Amino acid sequence: MARVFSGIQPSGGMHLGNLLGALRNWVAYQHEHDAVYCVVDLHALTTAPDPAELRDNTMAAATMLMSVGIDPEQSTLFVQSAVSEHAELAWMMECTVGFGELRRMTQFKDKSDRSDFVSAGLFTYPALQASDILLYDTDLVPVGDDQRQHIELCRDIAERFNRRYGDTFVVPAHVIPTAGARVMDLQNPDDKMSKSLESAGTVGVLEEPEAVTRKFKRAVTDSDNEVRYDPEAKAGVSNLLGILASATGRTPESVADDYSQYGPLKADTADAVNELLTPIRERYRELSSDPAEIARLLATGADKARAVAAATLKRARDNAGLISRAPA
C-alpha cells in the first residue's frame, strides 16, 4: 500500500472548505492506503496563539477528525508536537531549502501582508511542512489546491537532499480532488473559505442548520441569473455548483444542467450541506463528552508515528554526517 500523510492546523473551527477540500478524502484514503494524519500545532505557533486556546483548539481539531470518519485504529492519528522528530528534521530541511524558494511562496506573501508581526517561522513554514511529510516515507499527500506550491517545494527539498547525501527520502506526490478542491467564501467568492479570517461567508462544520441555510441564501452570485459553471466569469455561482457537486458526488457541470435560477440552487446546496454535516455534528458531541479517551487515542497514535519518524530521522542524520546518539 502507498503511504499517505496530511496535517491540519488547530487554528479555529473546521469549515466546509476543510471538509470538502481535504477531510473527506482523508477518510477515503485510510481505507485504501497506510494513512498518517496529524494536527500540526507547531505550525500554529507562527501566529502566537493564546496557550490555553491552542490546547483547546488542538483537542477540538483531533475530535473533529475522528468525527468526520478518521479511525485511530485504522490510521495513525496524532498531534505533531508529541513527536519531536518533526522539529529536529525541520532544521535539516531549512538548511536544504533556498531563501529565494521560501520567498516565492504565495501563502507567505498573503499572510505577511495581513499581519503586523511576521515571524521567521511563517517564512520557514514550508521547511517544517516538508519535515512532516518526509518523516513518514510518504508517497501521496492529499491536499487542497492552495497547498500545491508547498508540496512541489517539498519534492524539490527531498530531491536536493537525496542528491547531496544519498538516497534518504521518498519523493511524495500531491493528490488534489477534482470537485470541491477549493471552496470559496460565500460572500467573497474570489477568496477561499478560511479559518483565520472571520467572514459571514465561511460555513463552520459545527454550525446549526438554520445558520448554514441563511448563509447560503445570502451567498453572492451575480445579476444575469444564468446558471453555468464558469469560475472565471461567474465565481459565486460556480462556487455553489462546486459545493453541491462535491456534497452529492457529481460534477459541477452536470449540476448546472438542473437549474435555471439562483434561488433553487442556493436552497438545494444548503440542504445538501446540512445533510452532510448533521451526522458529523452529532458524532462530535458524542466524542467531546470523553476528552480522556481522545487524549489516549492521540498518545497511542504518537507512539505509532514516532516509531516510523525515528527511523527516518536516523537515516537522515547518518547520511548528512551527524554524530550518532549514544544509546539510551
Question: Residue 248 is which amino acid?
Answer: T
Q: What whole-number percentage of the chain has pLDDT above 70?
A: 95
Tell whether the model's pLDDT for residue 115 goes beyond 80. Answer: no
Separation between Cα atoms, residue 20 and residue 177, nearest integer Å: 9
Question: Residue 179 is which amino acid?
Answer: A
Separation between Cα atoms, residue 91 and residue 114, nearest integer Å: 26
User: What is the reported pLDDT for 198?
Assistant: 67
Sheet with strand 173-175: strands edge to edge: 76-79, 34-39, 3-8, 140-142, 173-175
Separation between Cα atoms, residue 233 and residue 118, nearest integer Å: 34
Average pLDDT over residues 298-326: 95
Average pLDDT over residues 15-44: 93
Q: Report CA-CA distances (Å) from 29 to 71, 141, 201.
A: 11, 10, 29
User: What is the reported pLDDT for 142?
Assistant: 82
User: What is the reported pLDDT for 275?
Assistant: 98
User: What is the reported pLDDT for 47?
Assistant: 86
Whether 111 is catalytic is: yes
* CA within 13 Å, CB half, 188: 9
Instruction: Determine the number of helices (DSSP H) and then strands (DSSP E) in the chain.
Output: 14, 5
- Where is mean pLDDT largest: 15-29, 95-109, 181-195, 206-220? 206-220
Beta-carbon contacts of 256 under 8 Å, excluding residues fewer than 6 positions away, are 227, 228, 229, 241
Which pLDDT band holds residue 82 (cuts at 50, 70, 90)? very high
Whether 195 is catalytic is: yes
Question: Which residue is catalytic, options 195, 215, 234, 266?
Answer: 195
Q: What whole-number percentage of the chain has pLDDT above 90?
A: 78
Q: What share of the chain is helix, strand, coil (3-state, %, to 5)?
A: 55, 10, 35
Render pLDDT for 274-289 as a digit per residue (tens, 0 to 9). 999 999 999 999 999 9
Residue count (the chain) = 328
User: What is the reported pLDDT for 118?
Assistant: 83
Separation between Cα atoms, residue 138 and residue 36, nearest integer Å: 9
CA dihedral of residues 109, 112, 113, 115 (deg, nearest 10): 170
Which pLDDT band holds residue 323 (cuts at 50, 70, 90)? very high
Q: Note whether 58 and 10 are within 8 A (CB).
A: yes
Tell whether the model's pLDDT for residue 326 goes beyond 70. Answer: no
Which letter, b or e, does each residue of 82-116 get, where b requires 16 or more Cβ atoms within 10 Å of its Cβ? Answer: bbebbebbbebbbebbeeeebeebeebeebeeeee
Strand, helix or coil at 76?
strand
Whether 109 is catalytic is: no
Render pLDDT for 198-231 as a digit per residue (tens, 0 to 9). 688 999 999 999 999 999 999 999 998 899 999 9
Question: Which residue is catalytic, options 192, 215, 234, 266?
Answer: 192
Question: Which residue is catalytic, options 109, 111, 215, 217?
Answer: 111
Separation between Cα atoms, residue 241 and residue 238, nearest integer Å: 5
| ∠ Cα 255 245 238 (to 5°) | 70
